Structure 1
């Protein structure tokens, strides 16, 4: 009876440690994602402000249209790049958060 209780305590302790490691990895990943989003938001706002100034400073309608088109193109390219970067950050976070469990499954013989 006591041996079963001690095994249960060890099981609970081991799983608690795995969860703590996983949550730590997720926390670090979310911090990296938040930092990246903050940087991108600031950059995007600054570029948008500069584009508005360029459109307003354009002397002709053609130049204003060119400035707007250039901004739209660079904005789209920047967004695609940023989404790729964020996708990589999310994937890395998931890998790091699952590492403790992957190792535990491998040790227990249940992971294939």
Structure 2
């Protein structure tokens, strides 16, 4: 069955609108991810600096080892939490980026 010029034009217009919405969604998602990454980096740097100051003032080797072990544990837990959060942000961004195309895909199918 042949589509009329108007149908093709409407489909093209709908695709363009979906593309622009997709671009806006991706832009917003990347901004959120960049802000989250910058915040995590700042916090990690501050924690590392605070640990270095504690290590400098450690009274014994045992105390220094304890400080380092606490830091390693907190850094690992923080990294795992941040990785989980970042993966959730990327997944949400992908869902939002796909939304504008859902109707076009449904029509095509």
2:76 is aligned to: 76
| Displacement after TM superposition at 1:109 (Å) | 5.5
TM-score by length of 2: 0.91
- Relative contact order: is structure 1 or structure 2 higher (C-alpha 8 Å, sep ≥ 6)? 2
1:101 is aligned to: 101
TM-score by length of 1: 0.89
Gaps of 5+ in 1: none
How many angstroms apart in 2 are the aligned matches of 1:105 and 1:12? 13
Note the aligned Cα RMSD (angstroms): 1.4
| Displacement after TM superposition at 1:69 (Å) | 0.6
1:49 is aligned to: 49
How many residues are matched?
A: 107
How many angstroms apart in 2 are the aligned matches of 1:34 and 1:53? 29
